[in-house]
C-alpha cells in the first residue's frame, strides 16, 4: 500500500481489519513512519543504489484498477478496469483532435493542476494518466485552497484547466480570481457532472484571451466516452461527440426502441474501454449490461444531427456532490442504525457550490403512544432540532465528508412509497424542490 501521510490514520484503521496487512510505503514523512519503520517512497526513488521496481508482464485482460462506483443505483461497487481497457481509452482520448495539450519538447512542457482526486475516474484518467502519457507536468494539490489554486495557475502558467462545475463557478464568481490570473489558460475540460451553460459563458467572458471550452462525459465503468472535439464547434451545453471506437444509442425509456436525433431516452454505450464487470458482483453486472454487451448508463440523453450529445436528466438515483458520486442507499443504511430512526429516504437537493448535497427525510421511532396528549407530541416536535444535529453528526462519523447531510434533515410522518414498498425518490425530490422554492 502506497499512501499519503495525510491518510495514514485512515489506512491504519483499515489495516486493523485485515489478517495479513500488506507492506506500507509512505509518500513522504510522518511521525508514525519512524515508529512503524515505514519507508518513504521519495527516498526510495532518490536512492540510486537500490532498484526501484521489477519488470512485470501483464496481459490486456489483467486487472489494472478497481474504480469504485455506485453504477446506476445501490451501494458502491468495484468496476474492474483491465489493462487493455486503459490502453484503448488512452489511444481514444489522446487523439490530436480530442486532447488539447501542447506537445512536450526539450524547451516546453504543458502544466496542469492535479486537484481532482486520483481515485475518481476523471482525476485518474483525464488528469493523471493522460498527463503522464504526454509528459506533462502535474502540480498536485491534496486539497482545495482558493488562494493556492489561483497562485498555481499563475506561477506554473497553466494552459489547460481541468474543471468540475463547482470549481468553474468559483473561478467565475470569486473576487480573488482576476482576468490576469487566468491569462495563461487557452483551453478547459469540464467533466464529472453536467456543466451549467451560464457559468461556462461567464468564464469565457472573464478571461482576457480566447479559450476553447471542452465538455466531457464518461463513467467509472466506461472511462471518458464523449468529448467536445477540438476541430468542431464549442457547443456549450453539450457533452460533446463520441470518441473514436465508441458507439452509443438512445433508447425509449418504456419500450427500449432506438430513438432518432432530438428525442430523449436512456443513453446506452459500447466502448472497447469498458469495464469487465463489477468485482464479485455478477448480479449487478447483469443489471447494467445489455444482452449484446452494451452498458446502460442510467442517464437520459439526446443527440442532434451533428452527433453532439446532451445529458437531459438521469434515471439513476445517485447524488453528485462536486462531481463525486454519493449513493442514497448507503446513507440510508447507515442512518437506519440510529435508534431514533424508523425509516429514512435520502435525496439530492440543489446547492449553488456543490451542485447537489444529500438531504435525509426521517420517520422517527414513536416515543409517545397514539393517544398521547398534544402537549406530549409538541414536546417531541421541539426535540427534532436537537435530533437533526445528532443524526447529522452520527452519519458524519461514518462516511466521507462529501457524503455528509449538507442538505439538512427533515422529519416526516411517512415516506412516499409505491404499493410494493419501494421508496418514491422522485416524490421526495419534488418535496425538496418545493421547500427550496418556498
Which of 21-25, 37-41, 79-83 has maximum average pLDDT? 79-83
Query: Residue 421: what pLDDT?
Result: 55
Show the cell assigned to 396: 458524519
Long-range CB contacts (< 8 A, 24+ apart) of 63-66?
A: 65/124, 66/279
Query: Residue 76: what pLDDT?
Result: 79
List CB contacts of 221: < 8 A, sequence separation 6 or more. Answer: 67, 69, 71, 79, 274, 275, 288, 295
Render 290-337 in DSSP notation, one character per residue.
-TTS-EEEEEEEEE-TTS-EEEEEESS--EEETTEEE-HHHHHHHHTT
Query: Residue 374: what pLDDT?
Result: 63
Q: Which has the minimum average pLDDT: 124-133, 302-311, 373-382?
A: 373-382
- Predicted confidence band at 295 (pLDDT cuts at 50, 70, 90)? very high
Query: Residue 302: what pLDDT?
Result: 94
Long-range CB contacts (< 8 A, 24+ apart) of 383-386?
A: 384/411
Q: Please state the rounded mean pLDDT for residues 46-75.
A: 79
**Which regions of the chain carry the CATH code 3.30.300.30?**
319-437
Compute the mean pLDDT over every residue in the chain, rounded to the nearest whole number: 88
pLDDT at 420 over 50: no
Render 55-76 in DSSP notation, one character per residue.
-----TTSEEEEEEE-TTSSS-
pLDDT at 424 over 90: no
Q: Please state the rounded mean pLDDT for residues 70-78.
A: 66
Residue 218 DSSP code: E
Phi, psi torsion values for 429, nearest 5 degrees: -65, -35
User: Reduced to 3 states, what is the DSSP secondary structure of residue 150?
Assistant: helix
**Which regions of the chain carry the CATH code 3.40.50.12780?**
63-314
Which of 29-33, 229-233, 281-285 has maximum average pLDDT? 281-285
Relative to beta strand 2-3, strand 111-114 is unpaired
Q: Which value, in Å, is the radius of gyration of the alpha carbons in the chain?
A: 24
End-to-end C-alpha distance for the chain, whole angstroms: 50
pLDDT digits (tens, 9 = 90+) for 345-397: 999 999 988 999 999 999 998 766 655 556 666 677 678 889 999 999 999 99
pLDDT digits (tens, 9 = 90+) for 129-154: 999 999 999 999 988 899 999 999 99
CA max distance for the chain: 82
63-314 belongs to which homologous superfamily? ANL, N-terminal domain (3.40.50.12780)
Q: Note whether 340 and 361 are within 8 A (CB).
A: no
pLDDT at 402 over 90: yes
Query: Residue 372: what pLDDT?
Result: 57
| Whole-angstrom distance, CA of residue 231 vs CA of residue 142 | 34
pLDDT at 72 over 80: no
Architecture in CATH for domain 319-437: 2-Layer Sandwich (3.30)
pLDDT at 33 over 80: no
| Whole-angstrom distance, CA of residue 213 vs CA of residue 207 | 12
Q: Please state the rounded mean pLDDT for residues 76-84.
A: 93
The CA angle 86-92-95, to the nearest 5 degrees, is 135
Q: Computed from CA positions of residues 214, 217, 219, 222, in that sequence, does the dihedral angle turn out positive or negative? A: negative
Query: Residue 369: what pLDDT?
Result: 60
- Predicted confidence band at 418 (pLDDT cuts at 50, 70, 90)? low
- What pTM did the predictor assign? 0.75
Query: Residue 152: what pLDDT?
Result: 96
Minimal CA–CA distance to 79: which of 90, 63, 91? 63
Q: Please state the rounded mean pLDDT for residues 10-32.
A: 86
- Predicted confidence band at 43 (pLDDT cuts at 50, 70, 90)? confident
Amino acid at each position: 500500500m502506497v499512501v499519503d501521510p495525510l491518510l495514514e490514520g485512515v489506512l491504519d484503521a483499515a489495516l486493523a481489519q485485515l489478517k495479513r496487512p500488506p507492506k506500507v510505503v509512505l509518500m513522504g514523512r510522518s511521525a508514525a513512519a519512524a515508529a512503524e519503520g515505514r519507508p518513504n517512497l521519495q527516498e526510495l526513488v532518490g536512492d540510486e543504489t537500490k532498484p526501484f521496481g521489477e519488470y512485470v508482464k501483464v496481459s490486456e485482460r489483467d486487472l489494472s484498477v478497481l474504480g469504485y462506483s455506485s453504477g446506476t443505483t445501490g451501494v458502491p461497487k468495484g468496476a474492474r478496469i483491465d489493462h487493455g481497457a486503459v490502453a484503448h481509452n488512452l489511444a481514444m482520448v489522446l487523439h490530436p483532435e480530442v486532447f488539447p495539450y501542447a506537445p512536450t519538447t526539450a524547451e516546453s512542457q504543458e502544466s496542469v493542476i492535479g486537484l481532482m482526486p486520483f481515485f475518481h475516474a476523471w482525476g485518474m484518467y483525464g488528469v493523471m494518466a493522460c498527463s503522464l502519457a504526454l509528459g506533462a507536468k502535474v502540480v498536485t494539490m491534496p486539497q482545495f485552497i482558493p488562494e493556492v489554486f489561483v497562485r498555481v495557475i499563475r506561477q506554473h502558467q497553466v494552459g489547460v484547466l481541468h474543471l468540475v462545475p463547482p470549481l468553474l463557478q468559483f473561478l467565475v464568481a470569486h473576487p480573488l480570481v482576476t482576468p490576469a490570473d487566468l491569462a495563461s489558460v487557452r483551453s478547459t475540460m469540464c467533466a464529472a457532472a453536467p456543466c451549467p451553460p451560464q457559468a461556462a459563458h461567464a468564464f469565457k467572458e472573464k478571461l482576457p484571451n480566447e479559450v476553447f471550452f471542452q465538455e466531457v462525459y464518461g463513467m467509472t465503468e466506461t472511462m471518458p466516452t464523449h468529448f467536445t472535439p477540438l476541430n468542431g464547434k464549442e457547443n456549450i451545453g453539450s457533452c460533446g461527440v463520441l470518441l473514436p471506437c465508441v458507439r452509443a444509442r438512445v433508447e425509449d425509456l418504456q419500450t427500449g426502441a432506438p430513438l432518432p436525433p432530438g428525442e430523449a431516452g436512456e443513453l446506452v454505450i459500447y466502448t472497447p474501454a469498458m469495464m469487465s464487470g463489477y468485482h464479485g458482483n455478477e448480479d449487478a453486472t447483469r443489471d447494467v449490461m445489455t444482452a449484446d454487451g452494451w452498458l446502460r448508463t442510467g442517464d437520459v440523453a439526446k443527440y442532434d444531427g451533428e452527433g453532439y450529445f446532451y445529458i437531459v436528466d438521469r434515471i439513476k438515483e445517485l447524488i453528485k456532490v462536486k462531481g463525486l458520486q454519493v449513493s442514497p442507499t448507503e446513507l440510508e443504511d447507515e442512518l437506519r442504525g440510529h435508534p431514533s430512526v424508523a425509516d429514512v429516504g435520502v435525496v439530492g437537493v440543489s446547492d449553488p457550490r456543490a451542485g447537489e448535497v444529500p438531504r435525509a427525510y426521517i420517520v422517527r421511532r414513536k416515543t409517545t403512544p397514539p393517544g398521547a396528549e398534544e402537549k406530549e407530541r409538541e414536546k417531541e416536535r421541539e426535540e427534532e432540532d436537537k435530533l437533526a444535529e445528532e443524526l447529522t453528526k452520527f452519519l458524519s462519523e461514518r462516511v466521507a465528508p462529501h457524503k455528509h447531510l449538507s442538505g439538512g434533515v427533515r422529519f416526516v410522518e411517512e415516506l412516499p412509497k409505491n404499493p410494493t414498498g419501494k421508496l418514491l425518490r422522485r416524490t421526495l425530490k419534488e418535496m425538496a424542490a418545493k421547500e427550496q422554492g418556498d
